[in-house]
């Protein structure tokens, strides 16, 4: 129901835009979040956005570099990744929650993930 895309290989300092498209149901009244998981590490919160896009929240590690946004008419959430660093390398997942949440366990729906690799 959630499909993440837009990942790829980019040099440090570069940019990518990830997309998360929903199908089968609408998520316009859900909080949407992005998480990431690097090899050998736990899945970590990256950013979330409320239902109408007015409220956003970021992990300290990505604040001022990443921007989350959404287009409910397209049932799509975006994550703009700027000033990428090698430590941003991970599989990025989008997820939907009924309320504001940073913990993965509080998200009800998950996409399959898209790989972001940042070379130094």
Q: What is the mean pLDDT of the chain?
A: 96
What does the alpha-carbon distance between residue 59 and residue 79 come to, in Å, rounded to a whole number?
A: 13
Question: Beta strands of 7-107 (E only): which ranges?
Answer: 8-11, 16-22, 31-37, 44-49, 56-58, 66-71, 76-81, 90-97
Q: Distances in Å between the alpha carbon of 74 and those of 20, 24, 98, 110? A: 10, 13, 19, 18
Mean pLDDT of 47-70: 97
pLDDT tens per residue across span 70-86: 999 999 999 999 999 99
What does the alpha-carbon distance between residue 108 and residue 101 come to, in Å, rounded to a whole number?
A: 11
Q: For residue 25, is pLDDT > 90?
A: no
Share of the chain above pLDDT 70, in %: 100
């Amino acid at each position: 129901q959630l499909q993440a895309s837009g990942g790829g290989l980019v040099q440090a300092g570069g940019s990518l835009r990830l997309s998360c498209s929903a199908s089968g149901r609408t998520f316009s009244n859900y909080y949407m979040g992005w998480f990431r998981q690097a090899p050998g590490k736990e899945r970590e919160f990256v950013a979330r956005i409320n239902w109408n896009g007015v409220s956003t929240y970021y992990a300290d590690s990505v604040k001022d570099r990443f921007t989350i946004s959404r287009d409910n008419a397209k049932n799509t959430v975006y994550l703009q990744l700027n000033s990428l660093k090698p430590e941003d390398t991970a599989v990025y997942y989008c997820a939907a929650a009924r309320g504001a949440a940073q913990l993965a366990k509080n998200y009800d729906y998950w996409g399959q993930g898209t790989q972001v690799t940042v070379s130094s």
